[in-house]
Structures are given as C-alpha cells and as structure tokens.
C-alpha cells in the first residue's frame, strides 16, 4: 500500500462549488504539506502543518483552507472554486530528521 | 525574480547520452539540496539529497553543489528511456523544513 494517499485522484467541478481534497499517510510523520503544480511554475506551497495543532500558510494560501484532523490526515478545501485553481494538487509528508519530503500521487482538479 | 530558477526544457537526448540539468538560486541560506524525479501522472520522488557544497554519486546519477556560485547540477550517465521524466530541483535552509522548488525540466531519452 502507498505511504501517502490522496482522494480523489481526479475531480471536475464548477465555479463556486466547495471542494475538499483529502490526504492520508502511514509513514508516522508529523509534518504535512499541500502544494499545487502548474506548468512552468513548479510546485508552490499552499499550507503546511508541523503537528496537529500547528497550521501555517504557504506562499499561495488565498482561496484555500486546511484541516489537520489527526497526525495522519490533512485536508485541503477550496471554499468557492474558481477556474484559476485548476491544477495538480500534491500532499507531502516529512519526518523529524531531515527535509526530504514524500509525495502522494496527486489530485488533478479542473474547475469549469 | 524566482528564488530558484530552472530551465524547463524540454530536453531530448539519445539513449546512452549524458544528461546535464541545473538550477540557480538566490537565497544564500539554502543548505540542503535535492533532486526529485516525477514521472507522468505521478508524484515527485526523491532522487538525490546533498548537504552544502560538493559532489555526491549514486549509480548513474551525480549531484553537484557549488554554493559560491549558487548553482546545482544533476548528471545522468548512460541515460535510458526509463529516465524520461521531469526533474525538479529543491532546496531549503537549515532547520526550515520547507522546500523551494524549481519549475522542473522535462527530459526525454530516445531509444
């Protein structure tokens, strides 16, 4: 089984809809991250969490919110989706000892 | 100006060629340097991890870091079609735990 899983893998939605992307991990890591990936822009950090009670904004948090339900679960919400939020979304985790991050398989989100 | 610059390519080489990839950066606080490989429709996976300046070799892959020039490189020797992927550089300051990524370079190795 994959260490970092994301659901759904693909989602098409309409402008104005609320969307939740979910991430679960079995690596036992405290640190979790949400990124979006756009062509030519690489991976940009949306939110990150270093433990259940610690939530921090990344470089592009506007229009997004997150919830850390447990050590193993970190969800990303788009309260009112807009077309420029169409992108690949990745969840990642990292442990205590170094900065290496482990990525999930991604969610391809399309907002019409 | 982006904190990490990486030529997006694309780069196409024949099988067996040496692939050379590089990134430049502006933040002198970066201490940890990584290369990730991302296959189509997959998440990035760590390929190489280096700390501070110097070289690191792992099989056909060599990572180089030149902190004085703020420049890192990845070399792939004897490239194979299975090396066709997007390669992303990433880096972070000491004890920061957040990574700054390059845009990624798409590489195709032709059989």
User: Do residue A31 and residue B8 have CB atoms under 8 angstroms apart?
Assistant: no
Is the pLDDT confidence value at A2 over 80?
no
Backbone angles phi, psi at B81, to 5 degrees: -55, -30
Chain A interface test: which of B25, B99, B100 (most A C-beta within 10 Å): B99
User: Could you tell me whether strands A107-111 and A102-103 are parallel, antiparallel, or unpaired per DSSP bridges?
Assistant: unpaired
pLDDT score of A1? 61
Would you say the C-alpha torsion B25, B29, B31, B34 has a positive or negative sign? negative
Is the pLDDT confidence value at A99 over 80?
no
Model confidence at A87, pLDDT cuts 50, 70, 90, reads very high
- Burial code of B21-48, b = ≥16 C-beta within 10 A, e = fewer? bbbbbeeeebbbbbbbbbeeeebbeebb
| Separation in Å, CA of A104 to nearest CA in chain B | 6
Model confidence at A76, pLDDT cuts 50, 70, 90, reads very high
User: Could you tell me whether strands B11-14 and B105-110 are parallel, antiparallel, or unpaired per DSSP bridges?
Assistant: parallel
Alpha carbons B108 and B12: distance in angstroms, whole number: 5
| Separation in Å, CA of B2 to nearest CA in chain A | 10
Model confidence at B53, pLDDT cuts 50, 70, 90, reads confident
- Burial code of A33-59, b = ≥16 C-beta within 10 A, e = fewer? bbbbbeeeebbbbbbbbbeeeebeebe
Model confidence at B69, pLDDT cuts 50, 70, 90, reads very high
User: Do residue B104 and residue A58 have CB atoms under 8 angstroms apart?
Assistant: no
Model confidence at B7, pLDDT cuts 50, 70, 90, reads confident
Determine the average pLDDT of the residues in B22-39: 95
Residue of B nearest to A94 (CA): B97
Q: What is the mean pLDDT of chain B?
A: 93
Nearest to A94 among B8, B97, B101 (CB): B97
Structure tokens of B15?
A: 């099988």
User: Do residue B101 and residue A43 have CB atoms under 8 angstroms apart?
Assistant: yes
pLDDT score of B8? 80
Determine the average pLDDT of the residues in B20-30: 95
Is the pLDDT confidence value at A83 over 90?
yes
pLDDT of A39-49, one tens digit each? 888 899 999 99
- Whose structure tokens read 């190489």? B48
Residues from chain A contacting residue B101 (CB–CB below 8 Å): 42-44
pLDDT of A34-71, one tens digit each? 999 998 888 999 999 999 999 999 999 999 999 999 99
Determine the average pLDDT of the residues in B78-97: 92
Model confidence at B41, pLDDT cuts 50, 70, 90, reads confident
Find out whether B64 and B72 touch, Cβ atoms under 8 Å.
yes
pLDDT score of B9? 85
Determine the average pLDDT of the residues in B68-95: 95
Q: What is the mean pLDDT of chain A?
A: 94
The percentage of chain A sitting over the pLDDT mark of 90, rounded to a whole number, equals 89
Alpha carbons A10 and B30: distance in angstroms, whole number: 35
């Amino acid at each position: 089984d994959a260490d970092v899983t994301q659901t759904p893998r693909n989602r098409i939605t309409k402008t104005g809809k609320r969307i939740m992307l979910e991430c679960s991990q079995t690596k036992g890591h405290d640190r979790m991250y949400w990124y979006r990936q756009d062509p030519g822009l690489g991976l940009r950090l949306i939110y990150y969490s270093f433990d259940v009670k610690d939530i921090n904004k990344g470089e592009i948090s506007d229009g997004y919110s997150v919830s850390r339900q447990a050590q193993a679960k970190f969800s990303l919400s788009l309260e009112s989706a807009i077309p420029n939020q169409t992108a690949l979304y990745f969840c990642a985790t990292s442990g205590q000892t170094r900065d290496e991050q482990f990525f999930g398989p991604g969610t391809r989100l399309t907002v019409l | 100006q982006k904190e990490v610059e990486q030529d997006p390519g694309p780069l196409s080489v024949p099988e067996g060629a040496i692939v050379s990839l590089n990134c430049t950066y502006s933040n002198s606080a970066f201490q940890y340097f990584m290369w990730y490989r991302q296959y189509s429709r997959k998440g990035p996976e760590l390929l190489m991890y280096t700390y501070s300046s110097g070289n690191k070799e792992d099989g056909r892959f060599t990572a180089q870091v030149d902190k004085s020039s703020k420049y890192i490189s990845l070399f792939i020797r004897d490239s194979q079609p299975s090396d066709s992927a997007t390669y992303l550089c990433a880096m972070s300051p000491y004890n920061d735990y957040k990574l700054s990524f390059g845009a990624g370079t798409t590489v195709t190795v032709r059989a």
